Amino acid sequence: MEPSAGNGVADLVVTGARVRIGAGRWSDAIAVRGDRVIGLGNERVQELTGARTRVVEAPGHLVLPGFQDSHVHAPMAGLNLERVWLNDVAGLRAYQDVIAAYAAAHPDEEWIVGGGWAMEHFPGGTPRKEDLDAVVPDRPVFLFNRDVHGAWVNSKALEAGGITRDTPDPVDGRIERDPGTGEPTGTLHEGAAYTFNGEVVPQPDPTTWQRGILAGQAHLHALGITGWQDAWVNASSLDAYRTLADEGRLTARVVGALWWDRHRGLAQIPDLLALRERATGAGSGAGVPGFHPGTVKIMTDGVLENFTGALLEPYCDGCGGHTDNHGLSYLEPDLLTAAVTELDRLGFQVHLHAIGDRAVRNGLDAIEAAQQANGVSDRRHHIAHLQVVHPDDVPRFGKLGVVANIQAYWAMSEPQMEELTIPFLGRERTEQQYPFAGIAAGGARLAMGSDWAVTTADPLPQLEVAVTRSDPEDRDLPAFLPEQRLSLDAAVDAFTAGSAYVNHDADGGRLDVGARADLAVLDVDVFADGFATADRAPVADATVVLTVSGGRIVHET
């Protein structure tokens, strides 16, 4: 449905459902004309309904403001959906079957690329080149893992990159090697994977990125998502976003986080300014939410599973002792402070990746220093992931006005947590993971994002984990640190109003009259009495049946 100006009559109304206007505010019907909400409540909506109005009768359903994902990789995930997509299968044999089938179906592709494998399916989390050689012996293969902090490559790829036993590890990563021979085994960690991908693997051009964005957008719209923050935008994907916005094909409102190259330091800031300027004015068409590249994404550390997440105290050795490894800081504190301070001065929002407690502290310190240098502003800086947060730093989010950008789906017991994380954190730090309730209690805003394709993009299972701290696919499992559960109200607010706040979207996260008409209709009222409790909240069983973005129906079942 394309919205029209009408003559005071609604283009679309939804009746019979409960409508969550915003936190603690409800209605029983909603009317949309053009890209705006024009009426709430049955009586008013009936007045606005005419012969040409599309009427959706939805008894027992729930209308929410459109979800906004505050940390997602839509172009990359969208491209991988049509390349090697391993996210939906598990185990070496299943991975090999998918890879072999793709290679057979694409005999003319010089490289086999994609991703989505999980570390838990390989001893020590590190797959081997021989297992790829067995199914693709003739062409190079490069597959990012699910969290995009490592890559699985075959012998042809190592040969293409010139990686041998004599190749030194980069300062920001590691080449996995055979402990006896020193030969590369087929896993590249962190900077070793990123440099290889950027310098050896052929990169998508803007037209290919457009295809990935559109595929990602369709997937996200089907899940009720009407806006997002893309946490990894480069010059090529920026041009793709701008083209789609100008042509009216970008039906979501997108904030682009420009990628900070940790090898270039402060010298790259003029280039970031130029990229921001290059996209100014994109998406100005009526009813098109547009593209806004006013953010810079800085990755400050790695991840815990490969021991690159930055910790205040060293990693445990898995056997009761400690190592001498504290993980990696990709920007030393002085440089991080200088970068955040200058970006803040220039009007950029800063989006920090921080997994370990040292990375979180360094991020908070840098934002505090920027405030002291420049004054407190409305940049809405945020720190994403927050896997381990030292108790002393939990209240600092609220005090500094730093938004906690949380990935709720990770806050549960699962094999990677049990096998590759907890043994190397130890008991005390294990209990400091994902302290969502504690951060919120300190007065901080929460925004919620999926980090798709790292894990599911679907907001509904993410909301369920936020509320129960348990796996929606095995609800009998014990809750993981249940004291950090959120209420359903708080979780929904984080995925709507909280993410809209971090995205500087005054219209997002609410369905007041006059607001932009972004809404998601669920087939179940998850706020119904008795539906959700702390122990059981089967939100993941609901389905989005209608998504409206800027007044346009962009998904319907």
Q: Which residues, 6 or more positions from 21, have their beta carbon under 8 angstroms from its beta carbon? A: 27, 40, 510, 511, 512
297-502: CATH superfamily: Metal-dependent hydrolases (3.20.20.140)
pLDDT at residue 535 in the model:
83
By the 8 A CB rule, do 46 and 9 touch? no
Read off the pLDDT of residues 357-394 as tens digits, 9 standing for 90 and up: 999 999 999 999 999 999 999 999 999 999 999 999 99
Q: Is the pLDDT assigned to residue 281 strictly greater than 70?
A: no
Which pair of structure tokens corresponds to residue 214? Answer: 């559109």
Contact residues for 406 (Cβ-Cβ < 8 A; gap 6+) = 384, 385, 386, 434, 436, 446, 447, 448, 449, 466, 494
Domain with CATH 3.10.310.70 in the chain: 75-199
Q: pLDDT at position 8, please?
A: 87
Predicted pLDDT of residue 282: 39
The answer to whether the beta carbons of residues 29 and 19 sit under 8 Å apart is yes
Mean pLDDT of the 436-446 span: 98
List every span in the chain annotated with CATH 3.20.20.140.
297-502
Query: Which residues of 96-236 form beta strands (DSSP E)?
Result: 112-117, 141-145, 150-153, 173-177, 184-190, 225-233
Segment 159-176 shows an average pLDDT of: 95
**Could you tell me where the beta strands, DSSP code E, fall in 348-474?**
349-354, 382-385, 403-406, 446-448
Please indicate, yes or no, whether the overall pTM of this predicted structure exceeds 0.85. Answer: yes
Per-residue pLDDT reduced to its tens digit, 477-535: 999 999 999 999 999 999 999 999 999 999 999 999 999 999 999 999 999 998 988 88
Residue 289 has a pLDDT of 55
Determine what percent of the chain is predicted with pLDDT higher than 70.
97
HSE-CB for 300 with a 13 A CA cutoff: 33
Report the C-alpha gap between 237 and 351 in whole angstroms: 18
With H, G, I as helix, E, B as strand and everything else as coil, classify residue 304: coil
Distance between CA atoms of 324 and 178, rounded to whole angstroms?
A: 21
Task: Answer yes or no: are the C-beta atoms of 53 and 9 closer than 8 Å.
Answer: yes
Residue 31: predicted pLDDT:
98
List, for residues 125-135, the tens digit of each pLDDT value.
999 999 999 99
Regarding beta strands 150-153 and 184-190, do their DSSP bridges make them parallel or antiparallel, or are they unpaired? Answer: antiparallel
Q: How far apart are CA 55 and CA 9, in angstroms?
A: 12
- Tokens 């080449």 sit on residue: 175
Reported confidence tier of residue 147, pLDDT bands at 50, 70, 90: confident
Confidence of residue 320 (pLDDT cuts 50, 70, 90): confident
Q: How many CB atoms lie within 10 A of CB 493?
A: 26
Please state, rounded to an integer, the average pLDDT across all residues of the chain: 95
Distance (Å) of CA 409 to CA 257, 354, 387, 460, 473: 22, 16, 12, 10, 12
Of 23, 1, 3, 148, nearest to 500 by C-alpha is: 23
Q: How confident is the model at residue 7 (pLDDT cuts 50, 70, 90)?
A: low
Residue 111 φ then ψ, to 5°: -125, 145
Average pLDDT over residues 395-413: 98
Q: In the structure encoding, which two tokens stand for residue 353, read together?
A: 């990746």
Mean pLDDT over 139-152 rounds to 94
Taking residues 425-443, what's their average pLDDT? 97
279 — pLDDT class (breaks 50, 70, 90): confident
Does the domain at 75-199 match CATH 3.10.310.70? Answer given as: yes
Instruction: Say how far apart CA 506 and CA 266 lie, in whole Å.
Output: 31
168-216 pLDDT tens trace: 999 999 999 999 999 999 999 999 999 999 999 999 988 999 999 999 9
- For the record, the structure tokens of 200 come out as 């050896």
What is the side-by-side order of every strand in the sheet holding 349-354? 67-72, 225-233, 253-259, 290-299, 349-354, 382-385, 403-406, 446-448
Peptide bond into 453 cis (omega under 30): yes
What are the pLDDT digits (tens) for 79-90?
999 999 999 999
Whole-number Cα distances in Å, 197 to 12, 190, 193, 216, 493? 46, 11, 6, 21, 37
Please state, in angstroms and as integers, the Cα–Cα distance from residue 149 to each residue in 23, 145, 536, following that order.
36, 7, 33
Length of the chain: 557
Residues of the chain with CATH 2.30.40.10: 12-68+514-556
Q: What pLDDT does residue 392 have?
A: 98
User: What is the rounded average pLDDT of the residues 545-555?
Assistant: 98
Q: For 300-320, what is the mean pLDDT?
A: 94
The Cα–Cα gap between 227 and 255 comes to 8
Question: Which of 417, 415, 416, 425 lies closest to 317 in space, CA to CA?
Answer: 425
CATH of domain 12-68+514-556: 2.30.40.10
Sheet of 112-117: strand order equals: 84-85, 112-117, 141-145, 150-153, 184-190, 173-177
Q: What's 316's DSSP letter?
A: B
Are the beta carbons of 241 and 275 closer than 8 angstroms? no
Q: Which DSSP string corresponds to 205-273?
A: PHHHHHHHHHHHHHHHHTTTEEEEEEEEE-HHHHHHHHHHHHTT---SEEEEEEEP-TTTGGGGHHHHH
Judged against a pLDDT cut of 60, whether residue 155 lies above it is answered with yes
What confidence score (pLDDT) does residue 288 get? Answer: 41
Nearest to 123 by CA among 196, 194, 185: 185
Helix 206-221 vs helix 74-81: crossing angle, to nearest 10: 90
